[in-house]
Structure 1
Amino acid sequence: MHVILTSNSAPHAEILRERGQEVLLVVPSSAPIGHDALAVRRVSAWDAYGELAQLTVDLTNAGVVSVTTTDERCLPPAAWLRSKLGLPGLSWESAVAGTDKHLMKQRLHAAQIPVARHLAVPALDQVPAAADALGWPVVVKLRVGASMLGTARLDSEQDFWLARYNNVFGPLQVPSGWDAAHLDVGLTDAPGGLMVEEALTLAAEYHVEVLRWAGEEVYVLPGRYNAPLLDTPHVVGSVFLPTGSEEAREVAALARATADALGLKTGFAHVEVMLTTDGDFVVGEIGLRPGGGKLQRLVEHQHGVQPFALQADLAMGRRPLARLFPERDPIAWATPFAPPGLVTGVTPLADILAMPGVVEAEETLSVGDLSVGRVGTAVTAGHVYATGPNAEVAMARAAQAAHAWQVQTVQSPSVPAHA
């Protein structure tokens, strides 16, 4: 049996089932997740270790061979379950260091990997003092968070008090199931505390998708976001870079060192790297799981491998075989954020598919659906992929199509106006 923890979706679960494997999904009580062909076990929260302990008792003689997740919120409980069931995989220590941004940056700094100066604080009231020590402006975020949820740039102490007065710091509107990691409480009452970082002035932001098997590199795939993530009010997207380019080599080397510092031997990593306007590369953070959004679909488009099939290979104890396409014209991904409310109109999918360079488009909101709006870098209106003769043209075409993808909403009583 393969046990998979997830707050929303687990693409490798269906792949395992299609391979004839028995799968048990562990999901939050609040998540509307069900699957006719898969068994489901519900827990109230990801830190409800009493419930997880009972699960280990129930699974003792069930022939469990793997406990996996592609959900950052689930890395620590998955590691804890593996330790109790005596299964291989990411250790508890690495899972905690890979989700606690303070511990993560301590490890990276000790490994002489460049990171932004930061301070960890237990409560929101202590942000101004930490910012005074670091120097304004600062970025404040959850110490244990996801998808940049609640992350905010503050230019001055006045900005801090104004944001607090306007209840910017929480509670937060989140998709169903995310409350299992207490992300709905926001920064005001965050149980894991907060991070205050110096605000770097960025020229670009990158991500690197990493996969390893028993210490060997399966792939390292560097890409560049359409803009630094804090500067993407309407559209988020990415394009993979030619692996021989100077910027690709720079960020790939940093990603390898970052994965080493976190002790990654087998599994995925998603490393984010920032380029400052001074020309310095700085590691933002690492997630010890596949990159989110549609980055894995972009890997499939650009490089010809299916990461979630490789995730299924890992669960089955197989070395993942990834035969990457030769270098080809770049393909970019972009997606617009939808406003909150009841969806009353959406640009026809055919109109998006007819735009220059578009090779695929996927609609995620339809008329009659309820949109919770932007949640950090997550929850969007649809996804579009476009190609071009170089990375810049591909990204421009994808972004143009995403901007054209309009979603009209009316305010719903169940969606707060500030969501």
Structure 2
Amino acid sequence: MRGEREPRRFLLLTSDRAEPFDLLAGDPGAEPLVITKAAHAGRYREAAAVETVADLADVTAVRDAAARLVGDGLHAVAAANERAQLSAAFVRSYHGVRGMPFDTAVAFTRKDVMKRAIVAAGLPHVPFRAIGGLDRLPEAAKELGWPVVVKPAVGAGARDVVRLEEDTPPPESLARLPAPLVVERYAEIDRELHCDGVVHDGKVVFASVSQYFQRVLSVGNRFLGSFTLPEADPAAALTRSLHEAAVAALGMRAGVTHMEAFETGGELLFSEIACRPGGGGVVQAIRDRHGVDLWRAFVSTALGDDPAPRPADGGGVTGWIGLPGRNGVVREISDAAALAAVPGVTHLTMHHRPGQRVAARHSSVFYAGLALFRVDTPREAYGVQRELARRYVLETEPDTEPDTEPDTEPDTGPETERETGA
């Protein structure tokens, strides 16, 4: 019809993170196009044109898939997953689309580049060294001082992140990684925090600070989660300031961030920052506390719109707790109603069910279920975590008929395990 505005074409790179797609599919002013893995394509085909790739981090494959989808008139490109950020930035530059350029995306996704920018900006950080392979590890660790934390320069979800002593051999998985490695001096952490923000026109227009229940170093952490900090906590203002400085140091003009920092010996240190919403239940907990939808802001900033967040402190402490999952065939798992009855829990979703075959690579967001809660104090938040751990039961046995093409690399572990809060 004459005078009607053509829908803005939005190319989304995603796997199972469907939140931004749902927002786009419900917006008559947007036309979503999706590049995803084959295992997730069915989730999007009814409402969008879809192309599949084996790996969202394969820049060439994503470029070619985008060429088959896009044609003319592309307005925005965004990646909902960490692995797809560089591919999205390359396609954005390749098609002349506004948004985060490739070099900025590199700074947000390669930890060695990121940390060098943080050092250059004079921000407090953990001493580190970037190495090209494990043959350089002894030299770097000797310079930093044992023990050390070793991680891939490109990665997410705490995968392949290990703490090593001088006499501890590194796992073979690190040797197989194609990316460089980052070696950090191990620090005894008093509190680990995350700051989740929205950036528009080069300014942080919203930021929320939360505290993890425990250190996110090992993907084997049980009942991982976080809760929003009371404004009276001095760490809230300090972390916001550190976040604002990190955004400036890395040159972000618009987008959504998830920064991690920690307190050690009375000092607040920068750890890492990503240019996408946090995983687990971070988005829901912030929405419950502040009324700000980070996925909606993610879509708005990608399109070049003003996200216009209107935060309103809902009071109390909101948070989330992941119920640990395990690979194999699920034989017994806690009843959702029993867990939802824990005082303070406002919503509980179970991802695993009896008889289900589970084959996934362990990460910090590998859960059998997710609980959201609201309480008055951080102390009560820890009480919710303890009570969920006490009630939760998961029993599995080996899967003798594994999927021929599991979506993620299966984790190896004890053949039969029982998880309880005991």
Structure 1 equivalent of residue 153 of structure 2? 143
Segments of 5+ residues of structure 2 without an aligned counterpart are 1-8, 403-409, 415-422
Of 367-376 and 329-338, more deviation after overlay is shown by 367-376
Give the whole-Å Cα distance in 2 for the aligned partners of 1:98 and 1:63: 27
Structure 1 equivalent of residue 13 of structure 2? 5
Structure 2 equivalent of residue 369 of structure 1? 356
Displacement of 1:29 in angstroms is: 4.3
Displacement of 1:325 in angstroms is: 2.3
Structure 2 equivalent of residue 243 of structure 1? 231
Give the whole-Å Cα distance in 1 for the aligned partners of 2:21 and 2:143: 47
Of 345-354 and 391-400, more deviation after overlay is shown by 391-400
> Is 1:258 the counterpart of 2:268 in the alignment?
no
Displacement of 1:59 in angstroms is: 4.8
Q: Mark the CA change 1:355 to 1:78 in structure 2 (over 3 Å): closer, same or farther.
A: same
Q: Percent identity?
A: 27
SS of 1:210 mapped into structure 2: strand
Displacement of 1:363 in angstroms is: 0.8
Answer yes or no: is the 8 Å Cα contact 1:384–1:402 preserved in 2: no
SS of 1:80 mapped into structure 2: helix
Alignment size in residue pairs: 395
Answer yes or no: is the 8 Å Cα contact 1:334–1:402 preserved in 2: no
SS of 1:335 mapped into structure 2: strand
Displacement of 1:127 in angstroms is: 1.8
> TM-score of the superposition, structure 1-length normalised?
0.89
Structure 1 equivalent of residue 393 of structure 2? 406
Structure 2 equivalent of residue 348 of structure 1? 335
SS of 1:107 mapped into structure 2: helix
Residue correspondence of structure 1 range 220-231 to structure 2 within 5 A: 220-230=207-217
Q: Mark the CA change 1:247 to 1:49 in structure 2 (over 3 Å): closer, same or farther.
A: closer
Displacement of 1:400 in angstroms is: 2.4
Structure 2 equivalent of residue 174 of structure 1? none
> Is 1:275 the counterpart of 2:275 in the alignment?
no
- Deviation per residue, 1:168-227 (Å, 9 max, x gap): 442xxxxxxxxxxxxxxxx12111121111000111100000101112332110110001
Displacement of 1:315 in angstroms is: 3.6
Give the whole-Å Cα distance in 1 for the aligned partners of 2:155 and 2:352: 25
Residue correspondence of structure 1 range 13-412 to structure 2 within 5 A: 13-20=21-28, 21-29=30-38, 34-35=43-44, 36-59=46-69, 61-156=71-166, 158-160=167-169, 164=170, 168-170=171-173, 187-230=174-217, 233-276=221-264, 278-372=265-359, 375-412=362-399
Segments of 5+ residues of structure 1 without an aligned counterpart are 171-186
SS of 2:158 mapped into structure 1: coil
Answer yes or no: is the 8 Å Cα contact 1:139–1:153 preserved in 2: yes
Displacement of 1:126 in angstroms is: 2.6
RMSD: 2.0
SS of 1:108 mapped into structure 2: helix
Give the whole-Å Cα distance in 2 for the aligned partners of 1:401 and 1:374: 24
The residue identity in structure 2 corresponding to 1:317 is G
Give the whole-Å Cα distance in 2 for the aligned partners of 1:49 and 1:241: 38
- Deviation per residue, 1:283-330 (Å, 9 max, x gap): 111111111111001111111222212223234432112222235111
Answer yes or no: is the 8 Å Cα contact 1:139–1:199 preserved in 2: yes
Answer yes or no: is the 8 Å Cα contact 1:385–1:398 preserved in 2: no
Displacement of 1:244 in angstroms is: 4.1
Of 295-304 and 40-49, more deviation after overlay is shown by 40-49
SS of 1:377 mapped into structure 2: coil
Give the whole-Å Cα distance in 2 for the aligned partners of 1:323 and 1:399: 34
Answer yes or no: is the 8 Å Cα contact 2:289–2:313 preserved in 1: no
- Deviation per residue, 1:229-268 (Å, 9 max, x gap): 1266211110111234311111111111111111112111
Answer yes or no: is the 8 Å Cα contact 1:332–1:398 preserved in 2: no
Give the whole-Å Cα distance in 1 for the aligned partners of 2:79 and 2:280: 15
Give the whole-Å Cα distance in 1 for the aligned partners of 2:139 and 2:306: 49
